Amino acid sequence: MTDSLWRHRNFLVLWSGKTLSEVGDAVSMLVIPLLAVTVLDASAVEVGVLSATRMVAYLFLSLPAGVWVDRMRKRRVMVVCHLVRAGLVATVAVGAWAGWVTMMQLWTVALLSSVCTVLYETAHQSFLPSIVTKDQLLDANGKLTTTYSVSRIAGYGVGGAVVSALGVARAAGVDALAYVVNAASLLLIRDTEERPTVARRRDFRRELGDGLSFVFRHPVMPRLVAAAASFNLFSQMLFALAVLYLVRDLRLSEGMVGVVMGLTTVGGIVGGLASARLARVVGTARIIWIAPLGIGWTVLLVPAAQSGWGPAAYTVGMAGMGVVFAIFNSASVSYRQRVCPPELLGRMTASVRFVIFGVMPVGALAGGLLGSWLGVRPTLWIAAVGVWASGLLLYFSPLRRWRDLPDEADAPAGGQPETRFPAPRERSPVDPAGKAIGGVRRA
């Protein structure tokens, strides 16, 4: 029986601060594309590039970020990243208000913000296990996933209301304040983080290799990494064209765009709240492939949407995808945090994110290019089918034979964990090193 996180002071402070940050981030994710589409008359390609630059740092920074974060105090990294992002977003607000904002400025701010995002998220996932116990990780990640979705609703709603009342330019400043508040809240957490181990001689290449080796020699993680990468690739094609599709194809006003995008995140709330209970009832391994194949088909409603009833179809389709992502992320992230040695958490997280988030700018750019070449709606059909089909990577794998993910003890740094796999349907246990495990995941 684990202690309730509702009485866990450090977690509650971390949780509340992240909630405020996510609200501001959602405002920015709505306002900046709206600024590009409605004020700068951006094309599908320009919108795709804008979406891609928000994530491109995952391609070149994820792996070294893991090494750097493992060498530093995680809380300090998060505070600095929030303050830098606040300054970057503030330049957009000032530029929009003064009338000299350009697409080049938006691309530059998005690129620099993506650097801060990579460092912050790597530090955040590595910091969480230092303030909660292993038994609390699934519950904690479920709550954080739910918060992400609730914050998106609040952020999109606030953003849409501010844009309608004050215009798109003034709405851009809300995000900067949220980052500052979150940075301040992190300083209220009682310091339980152990100081990083200082080696006499540090080998950057070896430290980098330890993280990659742990992930890709692991008997389970490559499956989760492959599926997550596929989910993220195709979902980013959807996200990159979302504002363009809602404004130009479904003919929604700026305020209604905020309302619809806010409602789509209801799925993430449902999935986040239900993830821990479903994992216990259905099984931590089984739920990972049942969720995308059983619920993920709803994303096909997105490209099928038409004017009139289209906003409802779009909302249901994107909400269904949110349910899938919330359940999958809660299970897979908690598993990674539970089995990874503390000294490898940053590098393990960075190695996974290098793959699963590194494909996101590729998906966003592909969405913009295909949207310009084939048209927005045909591109959305390709993306929606791809999201649903990503679940097949999990179904056609040994994960389908297990009820639960294997329970493992901590492995030595850079080493291979000794895993005892549950026997699938009374058969002999699967050999972790055997060919049956082969090589094949958002979060």
pLDDT given for residue 436 in this prediction: 30
197 located within any domain: no
423 located within any domain: no
CATH number at residue 130: 1.20.1250.20
Distance CA 378, CA 137 (A): 40
332 located within any domain: yes
What are the helix (H) ranges across 35-136? 44-53, 57-71, 74-98, 103-127
pLDDT given for residue 150 in this prediction: 67
Q: Which pLDDT tens digits describe the chain residue by residue (443 residues)? A: 456 677 777 888 888 777 777 777 777 777 788 888 877 888 888 888 888 888 888 788 877 877 788 777 888 888 999 899 889 888 888 887 788 888 999 999 989 988 988 888 888 877 887 777 777 777 777 777 667 666 666 666 666 676 666 666 666 677 777 788 888 888 888 766 666 655 555 667 777 788 788 888 887 888 889 999 999 999 999 988 888 899 888 888 877 887 888 788 778 778 877 877 888 888 888 888 888 888 889 999 999 988 778 889 999 999 889 888 888 888 888 778 777 887 787 788 778 888 888 888 889 889 989 998 999 999 999 999 999 999 898 888 877 888 887 755 433 333 333 444 343 333 333 332 333 323 333 35
25 located within any domain: yes
Q: Which two tokens stand for residue 127?
A: 């910091």
pLDDT given for residue 19 in this prediction: 77
pLDDT given for residue 387 in this prediction: 93
User: Looking at beta carbons, which pairs linking 201-210 to residues 24 or more positions away fall under 8 Å?
Assistant: 202/71, 204/64, 204/67, 207/67, 207/70, 207/347, 208/63, 208/64, 208/66, 208/67, 208/347, 209/414, 210/344, 210/347, 210/413, 210/414
pLDDT given for residue 6 in this prediction: 75
Contact of 94 with 399, CB cutoff 8 Å: no
Range of the domain at 15: 5-190+204-404
Nearest to 65 by CA among 213, 189, 198, 211: 211
195 located within any domain: no
Cα separations in angstroms, 308 against 136, 249, 312:
45, 11, 9
- Cβ-based neighbour number of residue 201 at 10 Å: 4
Residue reference for tokens 């996180």: 5
150 located within any domain: yes
Contact of 367 with 378, CB cutoff 8 Å: no
73 located within any domain: yes
- Cβ-based neighbour number of residue 217 at 10 Å: 16
Q: How many domains does the chain have?
A: 1
In order, the DSSP letters of 248-298 are: IIS---HHHHHHHHHHHTHHHHHHHHHHHHHHHHH-TTHHHHHHHHHHGGG
418 located within any domain: no
The shares of helix, strand and coil residues in the chain, as percent rounded to the nearest 5, are 75, 0, 25
Helix (H/G/I), strand (E/B), else coil: 6: helix
